[in-house]
Chains A and B, each alone.
Chain A
């Protein structure tokens, strides 16, 4: 920098200094608030981790695999089972669960902030124009830079990593919520208005449900970003797999580094596929699909009963319709 300024005589504009002063000031003024927030966040994450570690590891593994099987596919469930058992056998289960709880928490907070902002941006061109540069900045700023003010506010530990992660992972949530709502067929929204719906009724009954797949794609990206940041947060004592990675780097332990990295990959793929499946259909459709699977089971056991022929006939018809749906997707 200095060299450039010697060739082209420009004064050094102290952007960085200004930001530092501002951050210091916020840190001083809002210290009690940050402390309270800090306590709340660590208590929440600790409680969540404790809860997840309550059952024996293999029981939780089975539950997670079952969840994957129900929401996505039996194959995915089986794959998850194998991968998660591998994590347990690498003795990284506690760290894995810590990171999982951390990401779920950060994603929840990010979603709670991002979705309303996205709705606001979809409704107001001005809000959208205002958010755009801010989101660009948030998303392109190298993630390590966030760690500095976060540490200044919250010192070392889980909380600064958490806050950094929320900030870093937020943008796609806002963007895709806005996009999803703007993409909803204008004629359908018009129908809501034409029948006398209030903006709120139209938002809840039409825009949000129809934007849900896109919003879920946004949440999916939020999770992925949160995961990458969670690892970086290991640098400032964020705990979980990130800390293992940092430990491996500082001791140049390739074996440990690879195992931790592999666990991160397992977590990433599990969360990605799971949320992608959630986004590809409304929860109601999924519920129906699950119900039709159950129905199929019950009709086959009642196969011998001739008395309810018309009923089972009808049921079969509705099953055919239901079973066509997944094939379409």
Chain B
């Protein structure tokens, strides 16, 4: 079952929202409805987030991402449509039920951190537990544990204002981790950070998510970020999801020119992995044992140097160390160049399914 799912979700701001939804459902263009004074922020969105994956929603500013994510935890009430968290229908809950669901299953990380400036870092990290009524010693223990996880164990006694932006957001992350909820919603969580810190935070998030198995819904306006961390990416435009799929799928076959125009800026070498560009090893490849090795999930960027120094090709091994494919200089170049069909479609997909399963 999906960890979070949305069906036929609409949010219209402004006067007579229900009527606007009805017109949109009948196929009227968003621009017409907007011209009559309503603001359709989210239009007919379906979303399925599988447990344990990082699901990214990407779109330009104003495309409705924040509105969407705020309907996933009920901060905003949808004009139409339903939201489920696990098997609970969030949209059907009363205030009390909603609060309990938020306490137990949903946490959130904010763009500008939203920490409590008058409390220590530790008290901030333990905030969600305090709300839930966990007793003091226990919540401080769990807060400290979460701070350890994000590398801020030694800053427990500081005030948030004494930390750098990156550290403050780590506290925001620790607060969400300490809450112990299985779903974490992150709205532009890294957008306010310097590029270098941002990169670090992205890596840390992916690492934490792998080890803890949390489900993450991550909002960003940066396609590079989306591709780097997302297991799946949904691209939003004017309130609608215009394409969704794995980063590789989107890179390979952008649904329209709008998305294609974004892709020009994407660092393909960081999105494609060895798995995406390898060909099956041929039995006659006597050279296999002399080739440099790399894991399935190694980004292309990290294959370039071994390939250059190791005779042009790299052998790809699975988690058990078996050679499952070969990446050649030609396959890497065509993947980076973005040639249509340049990536070994079928075989890569099959092995990917096998690995994911």
Contact = CB atoms under 8 A, between A and B. Distances in A.
Interface of A: 185, 187-188, 190-198, 201, 205-206, 209-210, 282, 284-285, 318, 321
A195 B103 contact: yes
B114 A193 contact: no
Contact of A195 (B108, B111, B115, B158): B108
Nearest to B161: A328
Nearest to A324: B162
Contacts of A192: 131
B131 A195 contact: yes
A158 B12 CA distance: 59
A188 to B, nearest CB: 5
B116 interface: yes
B106 A194 contact: yes
A218 B344 CA distance: 70
Interface of B: 73, 75, 99-104, 106-108, 110-112, 114-118, 127-128, 130-132, 157-158, 162, 175, 179, 185
A318 B162 CA distance: 12
Tell me which of B112, B127, B157 has the highest count of chain A C-beta atoms within 10 A of its own C-beta: B127
B131 A191 contact: no
B118 A196 contact: no
Contacts of B102: 193-196
B118 A191 contact: no
Nearest to A284: B118
Closest 5 CB pairs of A and B: A196-B103, A196-B102, A191-B114, A194-B108, A187-B114
A185 B114 contact: yes
Contacts of A282: 118
B4 to A, nearest CB: 14
Contacts of B162: 321
B73 A194 contact: yes
Contact of A196 (B99, B110, B157, B185): B99
Nearest to B102: A196
Contacts of A198: 99
B106 A321 contact: no
A198 B103 CA distance: 11
A201 B131 contact: yes
Contacts of A187: 110-112, 114
26 contacts: A187-B111, A188-B114, A190-B110, A190-B114, A191-B115, A193-B102, A194-B73, A194-B107, A194-B185, A195-B102, A195-B103, A195-B127, A196-B99, A196-B102, A196-B128, A196-B131, A197-B131, A205-B116, A205-B130, A205-B131, A206-B116, A209-B116, A282-B118, A284-B118, A285-B118, A321-B162
